[in-house]
Amino acid sequence: MLGLTDTVLAQSTGHYANVNGLKMYYEVHGNGFPLVLIHGGGSTIGTTFGRILPALAKTHKVIAVEMQAHGHTADIDRPLSFEQDADDVAELLKQLHINKADIFGFSNGASTTLEMAIRHPAMVNKIIVASTMYKKDGAFPGFWDMMAHATFEGMPQPLKDAFLEINANQDALYSMYRRDVARMQSFKDIEEKDIKGIKAPALIVIGDHDVVRPEHAVEMFRQMQHATLVILPGGHGEYMGEIAMVKPGNSGYPVMSVIETFLNGAAGQ
């Protein structure tokens, strides 16, 4: 396992903002057009984006966030939802005086990214949605049965270790796990009219052995107005070095050239 000190930039870049009653942790790296990074379920900035964040920060002003109950951001007494997460990110951007940004989300963070494009379209330039689905039937066969019988023991150890490195409270780790599982167990489809209504250029990325079926990624690609679809070798986040999927000796991530081509292409809205 890679330690967080090997995978993220200096923590001196870390800040907190009070958004919608939540003390949200965020980091700012680099310069350029704003690019928001939204991590996956059970994750942190480092576990999801630590392998590619330094490269992204060379050409973008990266605002990487940690959502409610994850990493440095403590839990509060309200349900977890992708809609609320999107509203929290939007409020953070307002406080940072950022009128428009590119949004890059992985897994649950990509679900939040879709909600950003639906709920706050004026703030969104382009979106990257990596390893996500907008309908329950987009998952591979057996995924929802697995979620119905999920256990804390089955949570990837690198994600547990990363959380505890930030927050040593075992109860907080378990609470985050339970909340994320409950959110997925009550997953709601996004209406097709809302997916079709997304005007922002979208890059859809999945692995060919991902949680998401390739057929569903194609369906989402067909539904969106301005979408590009890329299917890369590997499992859930392997193409970007997600920590539970890091392979020994792997230092190159094929998604980077795709991302840079997309973000540096013609302007969004």
Range of the domain at 52: 4-263
Q: Which amino acid is at 20?
A: N
For residue 269, tell me if it sits in a domain: no
d(CA 78, CA 136): 24
pTM: 0.94
Q: What angle do CA 136, 140, 145 make, to 5 degrees?
A: 70
CATH of the domain at 129: 3.40.50.1820
For residue 204, tell me if it sits in a domain: yes
For residue 161, tell me if it sits in a domain: yes
For residue 233, tell me if it sits in a domain: yes
In the predicted structure, residue 177 carries a pLDDT above the cut 50: yes
Task: Say what the pLDDT of residue 1 is.
Answer: 34
In the predicted structure, residue 219 carries a pLDDT above the cut 50: yes
In the predicted structure, residue 11 carries a pLDDT above the cut 70: no
What is the percent of the chain with per-residue pLDDT over 90, rounded to a whole number?
A: 89
Q: What angle do CA 15, 82, 228 make, to 5 degrees?
A: 95
For residue 70, tell me if it sits in a domain: yes
For residue 268, tell me if it sits in a domain: no
For residue 59, tell me if it sits in a domain: yes
Q: How many domains does the chain have?
A: 1
- In contact, 203 and 127? CB cutoff 8 Å: yes
Pairing of strands 14-19, 22-29: antiparallel
Pairing of strands 101-106, 202-207: unpaired
Task: Say what the pLDDT of residue 252 is.
Answer: 75
Higher-scoring residue by pLDDT: 5, 59: 59
pLDDT tens readout for residues 222-267: 999 999 999 999 999 999 999 999 877 666 788 999 999 999 986 5
For residue 76, tell me if it sits in a domain: yes
Mean pLDDT of 158-182: 97
pLDDT range class, residue 7, cuts 50, 70, 90: very low
Q: What angle do CA 107, 6, 246 make, to 5 degrees?
A: 45
